Amino acid sequence: MKIKSSKSNLLSALNIVSKAVSTKTTMPILECILIEVYSDKIKLTANDLDLGIETILDGDVIEMGKIAIEAKIFMDIIRQLPDSEVFIESTPDFKTIIRCEKSKFTIPSKSGDDFTELPSIEKEKGITISQFTIKEIIRQTIFSISDNENNKLMTGELFEVKDGKLTVVSLDGHRISIRNVNINTNIDNIKVVVPGKTLNDLSKIIPGGIEDNVNIYFSDRHILFEFDETLVVSRLIEGEYFKIIQMLSMDHKIKMNINNKEFLNCIDRASLLIKESDKKPIIMNIKNDNIMYLKVDTLMGSMNEEVEIKKEGDELIIGFNPRFLMDVLRVIDDEDITVYMRDEKSPCIIKNDAEDYIYVILPVNINTEAY
């Protein structure tokens, strides 16, 4: 095997596939990147058995073959090379020679035949959406997945295709994030749970062009994202996802419109006085004078601020974890938001009229008489 490529192209391809290199394994081959050289293309692959990524490297084929190279040392070497042409050559005794200008590295490698191939996914059930849209969907939902491995389903996101619509849901026990996107598709009744790590990695490597598409294919155990010259294959999380319809159909007694940026800035200021360990809530006192009074009282100090609102319904005193509110407000692009509430023990719901996005946030238990 012998190839030539620019440092920038090589590093770009390595950054894509490296997301699927295993860092904790007893199988050394999973710590490698596979280089496969055909007569017309150079393919790079990494696979940790849960996530697999392959991409096509823009370079010149000199000699065909394949080799597996330990990812960390390979990437470290390429990063430090001059911005010039890089030659990579494998030898029959499983050594890899890397040349660039006056530099020459020789490192051990492994047989490409020992590398675990990516699962083959039938492209029967699939949808197509823009790269920009999938990147936005992930940005607007990924923050509310759980990192608690004891409940595996909460560490992923639900992808459901039904009635010409893609619905993506994430939750962590304290909040729910939902994005709905209309799509052109003939398939229906797809319901899978995609690992949050997969989606995080995908959002980092997908370019996100509005005019560029990503094809998403579903099987019983895997999901495949196909874009440009890159494939991302991930195992699905098994199990029945949580039923959230009951929380979304809650009757509200309060509806208010707030300027998103003003509301976010106010909570951001209040959070300066709240340590993560304190778990102190921000108190929202919603009055009939179209003013919402926000209050924080901690050992570091107190803050009181007023925010103008347009309100319909009852008065209410309610407390929230400020970080949960800020996470939501930061990913909503609308200038004004609409918030629905029922009472101090029921969740608030933030959504637009078209329900493109829906966010549910549980309140913190407080003694309302103290406020």
In angstroms, the CA 357 to CA 348 distance is 14
pLDDT per residue as tens digits for the range 167-214:
999 999 999 999 999 998 888 789 999 999 999 999 999 999 999 999
Q: What is the pLDDT of residue 31?
A: 96
Topology of domain 2-114, CATH:
DNA Polymerase III; Chain A, domain 2 (3.10.150)
For domain 245-370, the CATH class is alpha beta
* From-to residues of CATH 3.10.150.10 in the chain: 2-114, 126-175+182-235, 245-370
CA distances from 10 to 42, 70, 330 (A): 11, 15, 35
pLDDT value for 130: 97
| Per-residue model confidence as pLDDT tens digits over 297-354 | 988 899 999 999 999 999 999 999 999 999 999 999 999 999 999 999 999 999 999 9
pLDDT at residue 245 in the model: 82
Helix axes 322-331, 260-270, angle to 10 degrees: 150
Indicate yes or no: pTM above 0.85: yes
pLDDT in tens, 128-146: 999 999 999 999 999 999 9
Q: What is the dihedral of CA 300, 302, 308, 314, to 10 degrees?
A: 110
Question: Which band of pLDDT confidence, cut at 50, 70 and 90, is reported for residue 244?
Answer: confident
Q: What is the percentage of the chain residues whose pLDDT exceeds 70?
A: 100
Whether residue 360 contacts residue 347, with contact meaning beta carbons closer than 8 Å, is answered with yes
**Short-list 349, 338, 355, 97, CA closest to 363:** 349
- Fold of the domain built from segment(s) 126-175+182-235: DNA Polymerase III; Chain A, domain 2 (3.10.150)
DSSP secondary structure code for residue 253 in this structure: S
**Alpha-carbon distance values, 359 to 4, 189, 268, 328 (Å):** 49, 23, 19, 7
Q: How far is CA 41 from CA 3, 21, 36, 68, in A?
A: 10, 22, 8, 17
